[in-house]
Amino acid sequence: MLMTIVYIFLAILILMFMITVHELGHYLAGKWLGFRINEFSIGFGKALYKRQSKKTGEVFAIRMIPLGGYCAFEGEDAAGSGGHDAGKSEVREREDEGTLEENAYAKHEDKKREDEFPDAKGVPFNQAPPWKRLIVLFSGGFANFICAIIFCVVLMMVFGYYQGVGFGSISDNSPNAPGEGVAVHERLMEGDILVGIDGERFTLLNGFSQVMGRINVPRGETREVEFTVLRNDQERTIVGYVIHDQVRNADGDLEWRIMIGVYHAESVYLREGFFSALWRGFLFSFELAWVILEFLWMLITGQLGLSGIGGPGATISVISEAVGNNLINILLLVPLISVNLAVFNLLPIPALDGARMVFVGIEWARGKPVNPEIEGRIHLVGLLLLFTLVILADLNWFFF
């Protein structure tokens, strides 16, 4: 139970790290382009820690609910009132209602506070040129993508992109076992590392099980294939066989399975050097993005059911399980979720960065903004629908 709690805590930290990276992308782009930023917050709800910079006037906070965050730009919600103006109206209300002595004291306290914590400097979000706003909105997803590339580079250097299957021993009744009258180099041998079948390499997303699952062999029969193996650090292609036969699973029941007839097989990872890992990590991040887009397309077109999707709770559950298993699961899952955040936030879904970019693009094209109230209502409806979907996804994940 204690370890489960630790794994869940680590999973929340990992998720919050990726959300922080996303919001930091918005923040750094906003600072670079001269936007006025009122608050940078990790989490939602009541502030557990809050600090205002005496240099910039910006507020930095860690809040109670660790399932999101925000970078609050002045004027981002044009329909609402800015914090600076709200503060001034509060002072005016005190002046109208209080005595002369109370008003003098209030003004003194406000002046003291302004001297200690200056107002944030910069251009309000809604007054900045459209191209600057597009950069800021895009930067959150871009930061997630860069983070994914960094973790992918670490993954490639620690483990690798290409996988192999190392053989401890081969079954005597396997057609791939060396026997009398059979040239040893034409069959699989103990110590071989199988890295591909019929020219298809095993990778992190396309491993041995996935490749074997696509081989078409009638039940009870064998099929001739070409094995690509590493033997004594040299790669060679040899002719071998796969078998579609019955075996007993962990529950003791018989099931049909396509096999190559080996014992004591284990996964082997082929590590990359730094420069090859940098290039491979870059490509692998795009590969992850493509997998996510394919998954979303299959959901939209009904080719895939809703049983495999979940919200933040499901994400934390999957990460905690990965943390409890091994390091490679973490190094693979972190860039996968990071790319998922990047892709999902840039989709044109109301309340997300992608939809806001669409509205800014419309404003740029027509020369004037969409009515802020209409845009605000669209984002509000989108946010409510998104929260509903997230809750239903988590309920579906845990209870159905």
Rounded CA-CA distance 177/263 in Å is 11
Long-range contacts of 29-34 (CB under 8 A, 24+ apart): 29/135, 29/136, 29/139, 30/71, 30/73, 30/122, 30/136, 33/128, 33/132, 33/135, 33/136, 34/122, 34/123, 34/128
* pTM summary value: 0.77
Q: Considering only residues 322 and 36, tell me which one the structure prediction assigns the higher pLDDT.
A: 36
- Helices 100-116 and 83-97 pack at an angle, to 10 degrees, of 160
* pLDDT tens for each residue of 3-13: 667 777 777 88
* pLDDT tens for each residue of 195-218: 898 888 988 888 888 888 888 888
Q: What is the mean pLDDT of the chain?
A: 79
Residue 248: which H helix or E strand, with range?
strand 234-248
Buried b (16+ CB within 10 A) or exposed e, 182-221: eeeeebbbeebbbbbbeeeebbbeeebeebbeeeebeeee
Query: Which two structure tokens, joined as six digits, stand for 252?
Result: 């003791």
Per-residue pLDDT for 120 more than 80? no
57 falls in which pLDDT band (50, 70, 90)? confident
Asked if residue 220 lies in contact with residue 258, where contact means CB atoms within 8 angstroms, the answer is no
Asked if residue 319 lies in contact with residue 14, where contact means CB atoms within 8 angstroms, the answer is yes
**Among 62, 66, 65, 84, residue whose Cα is nearest residue 75:** 84
Helix intervals (H) in 125-266? 130-158, 208-213
Angle at 65 between CA 60 and CA 70, to 5 degrees: 40
Asked if residue 360 lies in contact with residue 137, where contact means CB atoms within 8 angstroms, the answer is yes
Q: Considering only residues 81 and 229, tell me which one the structure prediction assigns the higher pLDDT.
A: 229
3-state class (DSSP) for residue 206: coil
Q: Considering only residues 166 and 338, tell me which one the structure prediction assigns the higher pLDDT.
A: 338
Per-residue pLDDT for 373 more than 90? no
Q: Considering only residues 267 and 350, tell me which one the structure prediction assigns the higher pLDDT.
A: 350
Mean pLDDT of 317-333: 70
Q: What is the pLDDT of residue 174?
A: 66
Asked if residue 288 lies in contact with residue 341, where contact means CB atoms within 8 angstroms, the answer is no
Q: What is the pLDDT of residue 141?
A: 94
The whole-angstrom distance between residue 94's C-alpha and the CA centroid of its chain comes to 48
Q: What is the pLDDT of residue 308?
A: 59
292 falls in which pLDDT band (50, 70, 90)? confident
**Among 284, 346, 315, 313, residue whose Cα is nearest residue 26:** 346
